[in-house]
């Protein structure tokens, strides 16, 4: 008789018992519903509490590591029964002791990392116990593929745990543990397929073309200084001309002042490479040089001495003129300084270096160099020698001492009048 017919026959023969069974089954179903709903709510709250401040990759890492650990535990279950001969409750209690030890070591390593920023010995224990579990599980494999699978599963779990630890370590400390020397980025840069900076393609191309021009100019200069044959010189000049044409065409060298400055900087660095061997850089661990103490100026005992002190002070107060790079501008300043010098000499006045620098705009150092050369000329030397012979004043390079003849024409002895720094002539010479 079919089961349904049996149920209907039993219900017809025992109506009271059937009613009790139906009510009991309904109560059990209601209780099971409430129990399942409570378990679902508890699991949902636990999951929300666990995943509240955790990113999705950490949760997926824990899930994948749990699955891999389960695969490893299943292999140890078979190993404990087939190899060790465990059966019954003993097998159930002892088969997964290595997996429990792995989880314990992983928890300890994570806590140690949060406190000391390092997994320590527990991190090494995770890898050692995982490798042991993988080897023991693979020993009871029935095929090579199964052995490889059982070897891979625990190692996958350990790798996921290690990556989760690395992410959390970086989140806490803000730095990674090591810096790999061989990375895809470094390999691409080494092969010339990537750039280490944020330069655009046009900037990289312009830099390379300017560098080619500078290298071609350096080679042509080296061949010329070495007395190379005409054939090599023509080839070097042809290459330099071609590189220059390409740079002007593709980089805008003719109108871009920044590119022109970059080219001149490269050429200057390449032409003066030999100057590096003469550098005397400071010793980083040596004592710092002591700054010279300023000396007090002597008290002026005469108007001439007072004038010398004032002259030196004016020279020190002059601001240095910035270095001039343009050759044409430097030549124009030199001509202006020379014209000012000749004009003052015509007026029987030997100008100071400070006067030359102030009037023409050249630096004080350059003015002193020019004055040291020009004062040896006959006219200037005669004025300086006259001042020394008449008044005993020695020219110091910044102090003009001039004797100007100012008397009637045809007189046997013209009146000597002494002037200081272009002041008005005085009948009572200083120091006379």
DSSP output for 49-93: HHHSS--HHHHHHHHHHHHHHHHHHHHHHHHHHHTS---THHHHH
**The predicted structure's pLDDT at residue 32:** 92
**Is position 180 within any domain?**
no
- Pair 26, 68 in one domain: no
**Is position 231 within any domain?**
yes
| pTM, full prediction | 0.36
Tokens 């490269």 correspond to: 266
- Pair 162, 262 in one domain: no
- Pair 316, 270 in one domain: no
Per the structure, the count of domains in the chain is 4
**Is position 194 within any domain?**
no
Chunked into runs of 10 residues, the chain (432 residues) has average pLDDT values of 68 80 88 91 78 71 80 81 78 79 87 80 88 84 84 85 78 67 78 76 86 92 89 92 91 88 89 83 75 48 38 45 62 86 85 84 84 83 79 58 44 43 40 36
- Pair 44, 66 in one domain: no
130 touches 157 (CB < 8 A): yes
**Is position 375 within any domain?**
yes
- Pair 30, 82 in one domain: no
- Pair 410, 311 in one domain: yes
**Is position 195 within any domain?**
no
From its phi and psi, is residue 99 left (phi > 0), alpha (psi between -120 and 50) or beta? Answer: alpha
- Pair 149, 245 in one domain: no
Dihedral Cα 271, 274, 278, 284, nearest 10 deg: 80
**Is position 282 within any domain?**
no
- Pair 382, 400 in one domain: yes
Q: Which domain holds residue 110?
A: 56-173
Choose the final residue of a domain: 51, 69, 88.
51
- Pair 29, 132 in one domain: no
- Pair 76, 143 in one domain: yes
- Pair 47, 76 in one domain: no
């Amino acid at each position: 008789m079919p089961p349904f017919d049996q149920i209907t026959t039993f219900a017809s023969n025992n109506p009271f018992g059937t009613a009790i069974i139906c009510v009991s089954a309904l109560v059990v179903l209601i209780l099971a519903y409430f129990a399942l709903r409570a378990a679902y709510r508890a699991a949902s709250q636990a999951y929300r509490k666990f995943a509240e401040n955790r990113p999705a990759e950490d949760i997926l890492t824990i899930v994948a590591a749990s699955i891999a650990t389960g695969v490893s535990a299943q292999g140890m279950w078979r190993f404990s029964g087939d190899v060790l001969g465990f059966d019954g409750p003993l097998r159930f209690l002892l088969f997964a002791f290595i997996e429990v030890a792995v989880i314990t070591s992983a928890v300890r390593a994570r806590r140690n990392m949060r406190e000391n920023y390092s997994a320590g010995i527990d991190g090494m224990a995770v890898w050692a116990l995982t490798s042991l579990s993988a080897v023991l599980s693979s020993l009871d494999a029935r095929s090579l593929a199964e052995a490889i699978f059982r070897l891979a599963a625990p190692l996958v779990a350990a790798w996921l745990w290690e990556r989760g630890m690395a992410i959390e370590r970086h989140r806490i400390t803000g730095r990674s543990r090591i810096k790999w020397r061989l990375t895809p980025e470094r390999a691409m840069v080494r092969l010339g397929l990537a750039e280490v900076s944020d330069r655009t393609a046009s900037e990289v191309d312009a830099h390379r073309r300017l560098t080619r021009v500078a290298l071609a100019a350096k080679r042509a200069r080296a061949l010329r200084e070495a007395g190379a044959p005409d054939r090599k010189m023509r080839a070097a000049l042809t290459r330099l001309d071609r590189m220059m044409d390409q740079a002007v065409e593709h980089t805008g060298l003719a109108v871009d002042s920044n590119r022109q400055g970059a080219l001149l900087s490269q050429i200057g660095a390449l032409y003066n490479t030999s100057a590096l061997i003469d550098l005397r850089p400071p010793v980083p661990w040596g004592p710092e040089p002591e700054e010279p103490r300023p000396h007090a100026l002597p008290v002026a005992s005469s108007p001439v001495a007072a004038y010398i002190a004032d002259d030196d002070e004016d020279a020190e107060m002059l601001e240095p003129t910035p270095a001039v790079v343009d050759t044409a501008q430097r030549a124009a300043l030199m001509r202006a300084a020379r014209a000012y010098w000749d004009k003052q000499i015509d007026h029987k006045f030997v100008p100071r270096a400070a006067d030359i620098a102030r009037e023409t705009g050249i630096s004080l150092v350059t003015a002193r160099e020019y004055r040291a050369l020009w004062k040896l000329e006959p006219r200037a030397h005669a004025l300086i020698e006259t001042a020394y012979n008449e008044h005993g004043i020695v020219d110091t390079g910044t102090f003009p001492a001039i004797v100007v003849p100012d008397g009637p024409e045809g007189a046997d002895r013209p009146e000597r009048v002494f002037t200081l720094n272009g002041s008005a002539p005085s009948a009572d010479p200083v120091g006379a």
